[in-house]
Amino acid sequence: MARWRRRDQWGGVPEELCRFVLGEWPGCPHEQVEAWRKACVAWVIADPDHVLPIGDVVAVLNVAGRISRQYPPCAHEYRPAQYRGPASAP
């Protein structure tokens, strides 16, 4: 007996855009997240019918922000004026 196959909902989506894997993008973790975010947004904007499994452009921005906050600042991103917590009293 033949069964109808359900059409793959995410067919045609590049695999590297479906999820973020740290080793698939060049640079430090923050640069990798930024490259992934830009690639996702560019792919969705290129054709309005494109949909990613994680959602629309706003969802991509939310996920990229959440992932980026998981990693500590890289050495080249450190600025002396950044808040480092309460100052200890002498």
pLDDT tens digits along 42-61? 988 888 788 888 888 888 88
Instruction: Give the pLDDT band (50/70/90) at residue 34.
Output: very high
pTM over 0.75: no
Measured at the alpha carbon of residue 65, what is the angle toward residues 60 and 13, in degrees to the nearest 5?
Answer: 25
H/E stretch holding 45 reads helix 29-46
For 78, the token pair is: 């450190």
pLDDT tens-digit readout, 62-76: 999 999 888 887 776
CA distance 52 to 61: 12
Q: Would the CA dihedral through 74, 80, 86, 87 be positive or negative?
A: positive
Instruction: Give the pLDDT band (50/70/90) at residue 37.
Output: very high
Checking if the pLDDT of 1 tops 80, the result is no
Q: Would the CA dihedral through 52, 58, 61, 65 be positive or negative?
A: negative
